[in-house]
Amino acid sequence: MRKIGIIGVGHVGATIAYTLVVQGLADQLVLIDESDKKVIGEQYDLLDTMAGLDTVTTIKVQDYAALNDADVLITAFGSNRDESQSNEQIVTQIAAKIESADFTGVLINISDPCDLFTALLQAKTELPVKHVIGTGTLVDTVMMRRAIGLKLDLAPQNIGGYVYGSHGGSTFTAWSTVTVNGRPINEIQGSYGLNFESLMTASNYGGWLALAGKGFTNYAITTCVIKLVRAILSNAHLAVPVSTYSPEFETYIGRPAVVGANGVESLIMASLSELEQGQLKAAASVSKQKIDGLHRN
Ligand SMILES: NC(=O)c1ccc[n+]([C@@H]2O[C@H](COP(=O)([O-])OP(=O)(O)OC[C@H]3O[C@@H](n4cnc5c(N)ncnc54)[C@H](O)[C@@H]3O)[C@@H](O)[C@H]2O)c1
């Protein structure tokens, strides 16, 4: 039985729930939201969707206890708009409920600020660090692939490599890891007149166009989360950038890792250039300061 929980069924959480149902990836779903009305609306829309499918997913709502034997828990709750509570208080309350449910699976956090909330969820739930993953720079990595693919008129899937750093904060493309149709991009940069800075700008600008145009983003992040869910459920040992705990920096930061049934199995130690090593260290230092600040509160 593949059981998946989602906390927060807004634009992102609901799109993930829909994708899990239509792709037949979950036998049981547990949907939780601050709003009863919203979660019941999503439950019945999904039940109606299922009536036209060939697969069945049972859907429970507002039941933290049902997370007890879930394989994967996805957190996609939103920030507090009325500021009656700090976001840290919300994360702490949600973490306490996850802990009371005795959830032992793999937690994938999407909620921003991603590295911070992932670290806070890990600390407050006391789940093993390898079981608590943030989507981190996975979405930044697919945006980088889209930008290079569009520039070179190639399928974005033919672009390899990783964006590192803090999603929503300081991120950088590790160009030494980037390949185009299997060739290091550094080798073809001159012949194609590629400007790395312009590519990064195009990558981020596309993300901005999506967010500014719609007011939210949901599809790209959903495909990233589905990739992680598949890797966990099938124990794929997939190399993928995520927000994960880095012992060398003593903090959560976006970097490539191997993901399987037990979450992060190992970190991928790519041969970064000296500049890239410095960029990663700087991003990790900022992330650590912010996370340490949260723990002191
Ligand atoms: N990492 C990424 O690439 C990426 C991409 C898109 C969105 N996000 C983040 O994902 C989060 C969700 O985005 P969204 O667009 O779906 O937001 P949204 O506002 O549409 O949905 C948030 C949902 O969380 C629910 N919620 C709020 N507090 C809750 C609580 N205490 N318990 C349970 N549910 C609660 C709300 O009722 C709402 O349904 C945000 O933090 C956003 O920044 C990250």
Is 106 annotated as ligand-binding?
Answer: no
What global pTM score does this model have?
A: 0.97
* 44-80: pLDDT as tens digits: 999 999 999 999 999 999 999 999 999 999 999 997 6
Q: 30 in ligand 1 pocket by Cβ < 6 Å?
A: no
Domain ranges of the chain: 3-104, 138-296
Comparing CA positions, the residue from 130, 125, 66 lying closest to residue 98 is: 125
**Which atom of ligand 1 approaches the CA of 218 most closely?**
6
Q: From the options 3.30.565.10, 3.40.50.720, 3.40.50.2300, 3.40.50.300, give the CATH code of 3-104.
A: 3.40.50.720
Q: 10 in ligand 1 pocket by Cβ < 6 Å?
A: yes
- Establish whether this prediction's ipTM goes over 0.90: yes
Domain 138-296 has CATH 3.90.110.10: yes
* 132-149: pLDDT as tens digits: 999 999 999 999 999 999
**Which atom of ligand 1 approaches the CA of 216 most closely?**
15
Q: 77 in ligand 1 pocket by Cβ < 6 Å?
A: yes
pLDDT at 296 over 90: no
Is 13 annotated as ligand-binding?
Answer: yes
pLDDT at 82 over 70: no
* 244-259: pLDDT as tens digits: 999 999 999 999 999 9
